[in-house]
Amino acid sequence: MYSGGVDAAERLVESTRVLLWERGYVGTSPRAIQAHAGVGQGSMYHHFDGKAALARAAIERTAAELRAAADAQLGADAPALARVEAYLRRERDVLRGCPVGRLTQDPDVMADAELRRPVEQTFTWLRARLGDVLAEGVAAGELVGLDAAVTAATIVAVLQGGYVLARAAGSGVPFAQAVDGLLALLAAHAAPAGPLGPAD
Amino acid sequence: MYSGGVDAAERLVESTRVLLWERGYVGTSPRAIQAHAGVGQGSMYHHFDGKAALARAAIERTAAELRAAADAQLGADAPALARVEAYLRRERDVLRGCPVGRLTQDPDVMADAELRRPVEQTFTWLRARLGDVLAEGVAAGELVGLDAAVTAATIVAVLQGGYVLARAAGSGVPFAQAVDGLLALLAAHAAPAGPLGPAD
DNA sequence: GTCTATACTTAGATAGAC
DNA sequence: GTCTATCTAAGTATAGAC
């Protein structure tokens, strides 16, 4: 049961985030949320219209957090490929999977426009963000012969698929392998750095 | 409601396969299976012990089908990279996602050893199968500078992640992009074919 | 704001008749 | 083999007291 020094509404949203990640929308009941948050029935329905409204708040927060986390690496002051590598190799709770990606498997989330929107936007944003980084690398002559948009989709897919493989295996190893394999493939497109760098 | 010219047990398994794919294990009730199969309560419990037993039969069949489908391309008589490409570009019901991969997000499937085993085995097998194909390509001099095992994980991850991106976007486009990006990266490792082929 | 009582539906399964 | 009744628990929510 969760409780920080915060109010009921806040605890409810955080508990919903945890349970959605663990069990998905279909597998998460209002009762379970209340129990996890240590909040009663009446309190929950006072603060939120119901399960969908709570899920909406939870999903939007999780999506925003994911974007911020990605920006931490992708917006760093470093060469494009180094930023991509930092993003790919960032510490992750691999066996828990991606809290946003898992929602794509939730039929009731995908069927509700309000719940679905943040999921869709997150991946649209992420592909674009990665595409921009790659395009910068190409423009700087640091990366050669890459289609930025298409490669960005490949990179996001490797992460999302890596989570699937890790969960299937019950081990983080296949995730690490998928990332290693991708980085090896990307390395072949790095311009050989002369003593003067990419502008050499 | 499903019905071929087959018996109740068969219709139940096929209906369970469809519903597991669409709604997952947690989201699929015995009642829904009965309704989809056009089979009564009593009949279902006569043929199967319960939901878990039915799901087990369904998942095992789906896993076997996935392996057979992959083998159709990966076991063809063609160069390694061509086989991988044929596998990646095979016609797929992209928006429905992978019927095996989606189960990794189902907490009740992963918590039940009997249900989980076919999921785990499928991906272990698939990575090994792809790894063998790549290793053949390397041995034949057709592919250069690739770590077969690690690259195999990357390839499977791109597919699984491609499904996630497609479902998030509500479009097959990001899946196709992810695959295109991967094939472009792999192409850089194909040995230039001289007039005499790889042994040139 | 939070609690308790209440309500209606579904999940998941058993029992026994046909 | 299949049907209908029946059962306990849980899902999801409302109503009204405190």
How far apart are alpha carbons B113 and B59 in whole angstroms? Answer: 12
- Coil, strand or helix: which one is A192? coil
Q: What is the pLDDT of residues A42-72, one digit of tens each?
A: 999 999 999 999 999 999 999 999 999 999 9
Is the pLDDT at A3 greater than 70? The verdict is no
**Shortest alpha-carbon distance between residue B97 and chain A (Å):** 8
A110 CB below 7 A from strand C atoms: no
**3-state SS record for B145-195:** CCCHHHHHHHHHHHHHHHHHHHHHHCCCHHHHHHHHHHHHHHHCCECCCCC
Q: Are A123 and A156 in contact (CB under 8 A)?
A: yes
- Domain holding B6, by residue range, is 1-48
Q: What is the pLDDT of residues A103-151, one digit of tens each?
A: 999 999 999 999 999 999 999 999 999 999 999 999 999 999 999 999 9
Mean pLDDT of B34-55: 98
Task: Give a yes or no: residue B199 inside a domain.
Answer: no
DSSP E strand stretches across A13-133:
none
Residue B123 has its nearest CB partner, among A101, A154, A168, at A168
Q: Are A27 and B107 in contact (CB under 8 A)?
A: yes
Residue A5: per-residue pLDDT: 74
Question: Domain containing B17 — which CATH number?
Answer: 1.10.10.60
- Coil, strand or helix: which one is B78? coil
Distance in Å, residue A69 CA to nucleotide C2 C1': 36
Is the pLDDT at A195 greater than 60? The verdict is no
Clarify whether residues B67 and B19 are in a common domain: no
- Cβ contact B169–A101 (<8 Å): no
B41 CB below 7 A from strand C atoms: yes
Distance in Å, residue B141 CA to nucleotide C10 C1': 60
Residue B198: per-residue pLDDT: 47
Indicate the DSSP class of residue A164: H
Clarify whether residues B44 and B66 are in a common domain: no
Report how far Cα A53 is from the mean position of its chain's Cα atoms: 21
Task: Give a yes or no: residue A199 inside a domain.
Answer: no
Chain B neighbors of A104, CB-CB under 8 A: 97, 164, 167-168
Q: What is the pLDDT of residues B14-40, one digit of tens each?
A: 999 999 999 999 999 999 999 999 999
Clarify whether residues B95 and B30 are in a common domain: no
Looking at residue A192, its amino acid is: P
For nucleotide D4, the protein residue with its alpha carbon nearest to C1' is B42
In our burial notation (b when 16+ CB lie closer than 10 A, e otherwise), range A40-56 reads eeebbeebbeebeebbb
Residue B2: per-residue pLDDT: 67
CB atoms within 10 A of CB B122: 23
Task: Give a yes or no: residue B73 inside a domain.
Answer: yes
Is the pLDDT at B130 greater than 80? The verdict is yes
Task: Give a yes or no: residue B162 inside a domain.
Answer: yes
Label residue B77 by pLDDT band (50, 70, 90).
very high
**Shortest alpha-carbon distance between residue B123 and chain A (Å):** 7
Mean pLDDT of A157-176: 99
Lowest mean pLDDT among A181-195, B17-31, B38-52, B86-100: A181-195
Clarify whether residues B113 and B161 are in a common domain: yes
Counting the structural domains of chain A, the total is 1
Which chain C nucleotides are covered by protein, judged by CB under 7 A?
Answer: 1-5, 10-17
Question: Domain containing B156 — which CATH number?
Answer: 1.10.357.10
